[in-house]
Structure 1
Amino acid sequence: MRKFLFRGLLVLVVLTVVGAGVGAWVLLRPPIDTVGDVAFDRALAVPPLAESRLDQDGRRVFDLRARAGQADLGQGGATETWGYNGDHLGPTLRAKRGEQVVVNITNELGEDTTVHWHGMHLPAKMDGGPHQPIRPGTTFAPHWKVDQPAATLWYHPHPHERTEKQVYRGLAGMFLIDDPATDVASLPHEYGVDDVPVMVQDKAFDDDGQLSENGRFGSEIGILGDSVLVNGTPGPYLDVTTSLVRLRLLNAATARFFNFQLSDGRPFTLIGSDGGLLDRPHQVQRVPLSPGERAEVLVAMRPGERVVLRSGPQAPDGDFATRRFQGGGDKFDVLELRAAATLKPSPAVPAKLVDIPRLNPSTAADAREMTFSTRDINGRKMDHRRVDAVVTKDTTEVWTVVNGHGTPHSFHIHDVQFQVLRRTDGQPVPPLLSGWKDTVHLPAHEGYTVIMRFSGFADPATPYMFHCHVLRHEDEGMMGQFVVVEPGGQPQLAAHHDHGG
């Protein structure tokens, strides 16, 4: 008996010591910091503009094929990835306001997928949410009229409970909308030259150079990688040939929050957000973006100089748990800008960009409150059989969206762009949130009151989504549904739609 008790005590002591060691390591390990350690030895890959054709009805037709492949992600060999029309990521789709578009999406994966048009105003049946699964070997052809201001949008999968995995493996691409009425001709516009997509993602790799899908120990937000890719390129540099370069920043990570800035501390010019250009340019030193958010910035360059786009710690840094477990203290070198010895002069940036009509809260038909906490919204997880909000077509609503606890969240809504009315903590609304938005970071215990108008489409049987764009949170239930109905209409939810060939 004494021997048994001694062995038990010995095991308890060992477990206590080991547990204390693991706990100390978790609490004391330094944040990830790649500043000064990135070689910047690869030219930035610029996603090709997707080929398109006009059909007999004058519609612009694109073709996308979701497939598995292999890509060089800087691990000394081939990494297994997924992509559209290639091994990793997808081409940039581009269309003009007023065009009818069709996208033929063929699923060559071994599981269901969807394609969601993030930031796009379109009918619910074309939105690509979890209600429109594309079965393996089949094709879905969503079609709609592009009818919104010039903007930087993107597309990615949105299947039920598998969005994080599919985006992380590489299914993502940009969708640019052109519209002379809501753009500025004097801004940089030559795609891939002075107007460059910058799709930023973090990745974790295992010892074999393959993508690791394990979450960081202690993380409540999913996969946090220690390597950053831009347009799928590790250690990228961009050769700049003009005095101004326009960067279309997209946080395409599944969980990580980036805080972009320049290595020498110089300001850059913020000109656009999720839904298009701002009313005027703003000089800023940081652009924080949560997953799914976009920003357009102009960087002024001098001949022959080099400057690095970095992601610094979140500002403000957040609480201890955010810094330690959610990546809030991590720092990355992201992209090196290399100016040529001689630069082509760029036109001056005008003091006025575009007019943004402001929505009037006094005309709101309804006001709603949404609290995001754990994996719930207002205490309820996603249920495909439940409608969380019934919205009347051609009405305006005011929503207050709040983070109810300490874990970082974001708010994304399908179909509409919103305007931020105020912060719930009473602080001023920053320039990045002064224009049209579809995604916004919800800091711990804080949030925003936003206003939006639901125009154009009504469908009582097919819902749109609103959810946290931290994709693991979305997959685990932090998502709700709303339907848009004609005046006096009621929801009539249908079953999931299959899309065969």
Structure 2
Amino acid sequence: MITHCSLRAFALLRYKISVSQREFVRLRRARLRRRYRVTYGIVQMPMPSPTSYTISATVCTVAVRPTRTYGYSSPILGPVLRLRRGDRVQMIVHNAVHFPTTVHWHGLLVPGHSDGGPQQGINPGETWRPVLAVDQPAATLWYHPHPHHDTARQIYLGLAGLVIVDDGDDHGLPSVLVDPMAMDPSVAVQRRQFVLNNGICEQRTRMSEHPDMPALIGINGKVHDPKRIDVETRLGTTEIWEILSVGMPHPFHIHGAMFRILSLDGKPPPEHLAGLKDVVLVEDKAELLVSFTRPATREHPFMYHCHILEHEDAGMMGQYTCA
């Protein structure tokens, strides 16, 4: 039975909690103002030069209720990185956590050796220094870790941040929206099919013990193998990739390339999906016109995978070269 006294005690407790939360927010904001320059909700870190960023993957404990979090140069998440088309940006990525990590620039068109895939691990205490040559239309992208078997955990605990690319033509919305350029599937030099096999993530260990058994979760019946190159493409060419989802819808992502959607479940894509993409939600079948404009070697291949983080960690992922 809830009495008047217990309700009053609850109200006092609630007041004390809310006051402590406000005080925490006030102190945190004051600390941020001293350390960073805050503009329109975007934390812009001090930079050694206009074309250089330094971020450090760190582990923190958040006040109010002690909680372990990860962040890039902050207790959780990371600063927004603003890049301009034509820039060459020196990234300085320091690993200050106690486990290996990587940093992948999701959606940024860079060569394989700068992409930050699972092959480019950064061990604790090490620093990675890729140079990003920015040459693509304006876009809202993001960066996140990509270590095989540990991507989901690291992202969920806070290792992620936004990338905004400006190209000089994105100041204000046009009065009339222009239809995207018509697609020409006849330019494709090859057609490939990828079947996204859905299964139980916990079966990964069992499947690795029986390589002849079709993977319960993988692509084309195979679980991801970092030592295997699944596809070889040619730089400057275009291909048609047919993606089939089995068991449930899967968001399919391709590193190092952009594509146009030819069809979804046999129908033309809706207008909001008619432009350039790097991820598509495949509920049944999707046909993609993929353009390969960035190189990737066998030592630093590009990835393609389901972007449900647990699925890619479990092995629904492949890798390709472009030479």
Give the TM-score taking structure 2 as reference length: 0.79
Which residue is equivalent to 2:193?
Answer: 369
Separation (CA, whole Å) in 1 of partners of 2:115 and 2:296: 13
Which residue is equivalent to 1:186?
Answer: 172
What aligned pairs does 1:371-390 form with structure 2 within 5 A after superposition?
Answer: 371-374=195-198, 375-390=217-232
List runs of 5+ in structure 1 lacking aligned partners: 1-40, 188-348, 486-501
Which residue is equivalent to 2:4?
Answer: none
Q: Name the Cα RMSD after superposition.
A: 2.1
> Is the alpha carbon distance of 1:165 and 1:414 closer, same or farther for their aligned partners in structure 2, counting shifts above 3 Å?
same
The secondary structure found in structure 1 opposite 2:113 is helix
Equivalent residue pairs, number: 270
Of 299, 307, 313, which aligns to 1:461? 299
Which residue is equivalent to 1:101?
Answer: 89
Separation (CA, whole Å) in 1 of partners of 2:294 and 2:321: 13
Q: Deviations over 1:269-317 (max 9, x none)?
A: xxxxxxxxxxxxxxxxxxxxxxxxxxxxxxxxxxxxxxxxxxxxxxxxx
1:60 correspondence with 2:51: yes
Post-superposition offset of 1:64: 0.4
1:124 correspondence with 2:115: no
Give the TM-score taking structure 1 as reference length: 0.51
1:412, 1:469 within 8 Å by CA — same for their partners in 2?
yes
Separation (CA, whole Å) in 2 of partners of 1:448 and 1:373: 15
The secondary structure found in structure 1 opposite 2:257 is coil
> Is the alpha carbon distance of 1:421 and 1:428 closer, same or farther for their aligned partners in structure 2, counting shifts above 3 Å?
closer
% identity of equivalent residues: 39
Letter in 1 for 2:77: L
Separation (CA, whole Å) in 2 of partners of 1:174 and 1:50: 13
Which 10-residue stretch deviates more, 450-459 or 474-483?
A: 450-459
Separation (CA, whole Å) in 1 of partners of 2:128 and 2:180: 35
What aligned pairs does 1:247-262 form with structure 2 within 5 A after superposition?
Answer: none
Which residue is equivalent to 1:175?
Answer: 163
1:412 correspondence with 2:253: yes
More helix by share: 2
1:398, 1:449 within 8 Å by CA — same for their partners in 2?
yes
Separation (CA, whole Å) in 1 of partners of 2:253 and 2:313: 14
Which residue is equivalent to 2:6?
Answer: none
What aligned pairs does 1:350-499 form with structure 2 within 5 A after superposition?
Answer: 350-352=175-177, 356-374=180-198, 375-405=217-247, 407-423=248-264, 425-443=265-283, 446-485=284-323
What aligned pairs does 1:46-445 form with structure 2 within 5 A after superposition?
Answer: 46-54=41-49, 60-71=51-62, 77-181=65-169, 183=170, 185-187=171-173, 350-352=175-177, 356-374=180-198, 375-405=217-247, 407-423=248-264, 425-443=265-283
1:47, 1:90 within 8 Å by CA — same for their partners in 2?
no
List runs of 5+ in structure 2 lacking aligned partners: 1-21, 30-39, 199-216
Separation (CA, whole Å) in 2 of partners of 1:458 and 1:118: 15
Separation (CA, whole Å) in 1 of partners of 2:115 and 2:147: 12
